[in-house]
Structure 1
């Protein structure tokens, strides 16, 4: 007897929809007016020519509420940037601009910036700045956020997140347990290598990790490079004829990678993530392949989505970057577990690296 009529329901729904839309429009309008009155000061980081182009575009669209006040570049190029913006080349100049203008945002406009300017970006993030990656040329990822027509994404420059607390707990639990279980096997491998190949059974090499930070990667030594230059710049030794049968077995079975469990336990790496590479190749690939540098927004890993799809050794770098970025963009703890299970299953049919 007290049920609402269809007419009252329709009127109520219409009134609620109009009220919600009007309220949202009012909030949006007030927010846009506030951004126009008080835009957020920003620094544009990257090669001078690209940074100038992005800064000029952002200045032509004040409705985004971002006002570039300077360009940070390793080389000054022209004396001034877009619309007379100063080009900052030293840490002191950046610090002065940060304090005097109350900089709130940092725009990275080139893939190599995260690696080359990693310490600077972390320092700016610790100062309270939001760090954004802006694709100034060829968009390599899907995103809803745009700035003056350029796709952009906010970068997490924190020191301990990179996938969440759950991912780190999984890393510590699994790597610690595996290290305890396989420690006798590691001792056997070390003893055999010492007897068959001489001293120096552990191979240490600098790799680039999260946010462009270098770290020392550990492996069993299966090959002795001629010198440091070969170690840093030779792409692969999978076909090396001088490798002993035992070393070749370790490499083809990926058992030489077991020492990286210590890197995981230390926090240098994760169990799952993009494979870390040497600085020489990171610099080359970041310049050549769109989206490659974006892989460094998460901890590197022992295995990853690219590896379980066969992208190991001498395979397409462009495909690896695409799989790695897809993994990061869609990260979940369940995805990590699935990748680990598929990696374990693949160990029975090794292909080498």
Structure 2
């Protein structure tokens, strides 16, 4: 009992001392260990970048290059998350997702803007460009500036153009060497009035299909052919469903890099400057690497031996050009004569 009394007295004395002198937790609670990796995380900017092609295509490579440059130049305070292969949004939904700021950047084919912004149809004209040099003059010159200015009333900001390559034709049933070969065939097309007119001029029918549904529709023979760059044909394994590829170089497939307007305005001037410089460096890089990538994928297509590859000679090219001339007459109604004249000036330089 005596021992119990001593313990009770000790506890009572401790409690009394605490009330008299107050509680001091400074020596009993240890501060959290400082983690320098967490510093500034509340200020980190995350850019969700959605696109529909493979990571190994020119657009996929450019997106990754852009992300690396931005993150390196901002020490990670701006993070770019890449969602490739339409894993987040397909090419029919990504623009609306961008407008609603569910993603902050996309890079659709320029053809995807032609219905909303008719002047973009200039870039889809068949045989608009005969060289990579001409494409660059259009993208980086007055035509490109005119097209970017068209977006000023939308919720999207045009940041610039990215390169892929010239389009080729594929077919399941026969080689496409003459305009008559297209008659009564059914092709996949992008949502471009110019591309629709192109196939109409060749007496072919079309269906408007998302890019990532093209292989499936070729496989079940809902469509018999399509047009695309060799990088897209190879990475999406379209050669498994097609027997013939014609190296026609009849059109050019490129992209426009877009960001959400509100998101952009909320960035600091310094952040905007870093993103713009990273984008400019990426554009210069992919302009050169896109040519190498498409050439490499054409070589891979030749190695597969599952698809026959045909080349148009000069005479055949002229026949194609002549057959497609009516597309220019109709398109001028939407682009205006001035843009057509600027395009012709590029060819003359």
Q: TM-score, normalised by structure 2?
A: 0.26
TM-score normalized with structure 1 length = 0.25
Bigger radius of gyration, 1 or 2? 2
